[in-house]
A = this chain, B = another copy of it.
Amino acid sequence: MAKLSQRGVNIPASPIRRLVPYADEAKARGIHVHRLNIGQPDIPTPKRMLDAYRGYDEEVLAYGPSQGLPQMRQAVADDYVRRGLPIEPRHVTTCFGGSEAITFALAAVADPGDEVLVPEPFYANYAGFAAQLGIDVRPVTASADDGFHLPSDATLDAAVGPRTKAVVYCSPGNPTGTVYRSEEVARIGRLAERHDLFVISDEVYRDFAYDGVSVTSALTLDCAEERVIVIDSVSKKYSACGARVGFAITKVEPVLDAIMRMSFSRLCPATVDQLAAVAAYATPASYFDEVRAEYTRRRNVLVDGLNAIDGVSSYRPEGAFYTVATFDVDDIDHFATWLLTDFSHDGQTVMMAPATGFYATPGLGRSQARIAYVLGVPALESCLSVLRAAVAVYRP
List residues of chain A with CB under 8 Å of any chain B CB.
1-9, 11-14, 16-17, 38, 40-45, 49-50, 53-56, 58-64, 66, 96-97, 99-100, 103, 107-114, 125, 128-129, 132-134, 165-166, 192, 196-198, 226-227, 239-244, 252, 254-255, 258, 261-262, 264-273, 276
Within the complex, what minimum Cβ distance (angstroms) separates A6 from chain B? 5
- Beyond A17-B66, A112-B134, is A258–B11 a contact (Cβ under 8 Å)? yes
- Decide if A56 touches B53 in the complex (CB within 8 Å): yes
Residue of B at shortest CB range from A255?
B4
Ranked nearest first, the 7 interchain pairs of A and B with the lowest CB-CB distance are A128-B265, A242-B271, A112-B112, A8-B258, A14-B264, A99-B266, A1-B226
> Which residues does chain B contribute within 8 Å of A133, judged by CB atoms?
132-134
B61 & A125 in contact (Cβ 8 Å cutoff): no
Q: Contacts of A8 on B, CB cut-off 8 Å? A: 107-109, 254-255, 258
Which residues of the partner chain B approach A226 to less than 8 Å between Cβ atoms? Answer: 1-2
What residues on B are CB-neighbors of A61 within 8 Å?
Answer: 45, 49-50, 239-243, 276
In the assembled complex, 22 residue pairs joining A and B whose CB atoms fall closer than 8 Å, in A order, are: A2-B166, A2-B197, A2-B198, A2-B226, A5-B108, A5-B109, A8-B108, A11-B261, A11-B265, A13-B261, A14-B66, A45-B61, A54-B55, A96-B266, A97-B267, A99-B265, A112-B113, A128-B262, A128-B266, A241-B267, A241-B268, A242-B270
4 new A-B contacts, CB < 8 A, other than A42-B60, A107-B132, are A5-B108, A11-B258, A97-B267, A111-B112
Q: Contact: B99 with A267, CB < 8 Å? A: yes
**When chains A and B are docked, how far (Å) is the Cα of A335 from the Cα of B132?**
39
Interchain nearest-CB distance for A192 vs B (Å): 7
* Chain B residue nearest in CB terms to A16: B264
Residues in B with CB closer than 8 Å to A109 are 2, 4-5, 8
Instruction: Tell me whether A17 and B264 are in contact (CB under 8 A).
Output: yes
Task: For A64, list chain B residues within 8 Å (CB).
Answer: 242
Question: When chains A and B are docked, how far (Å) is the Cα of A55 from the Cα of B226?
Answer: 46
Chain B nearest CB from A129 CB (Å) reads: 6
How far is A13 from B66 in the complex, measured between Cα atoms in Å?
12
Which residue of B5, B100, B241, B264 is within 8 Å of A62 (Cβ)? B241
> Is there contact, CB below 8 Å, between A134 and B134?
yes
* Cα of A54 to Cα of B25 in the assembled complex, Å: 34
Knowing A2-B227, A132-B133, A226-B1, the reply to whether A268 touches B242 (Cβ < 8 A) is yes
- Pairwise interchain contact A14-B268, C-beta atoms closer than 8 A: no
Tell me how far the C-beta of A391 lies from the nearest C-beta in chain B, rounded to whole angstroms.
29
Q: Which interface residue of A114, A196, A266 has the most chain B CB atoms within 10 A?
A: A266
A226 to B61, CA, bound (A): 36
Contact of A273 among B44, B103, B196, B270 (CB under 8 A): B270
A13 x B264 contact (CB < 8 A): yes
Shortest beta-carbon distance, A163 to chain B, in Å?
Answer: 11
Task: Write out the residue numbers on chain B whose beta carbons fall within 8 Å of the beta carbon of A271.
Answer: 242-244
Tell me whether B107 and A100 are in contact (CB under 8 A).
no
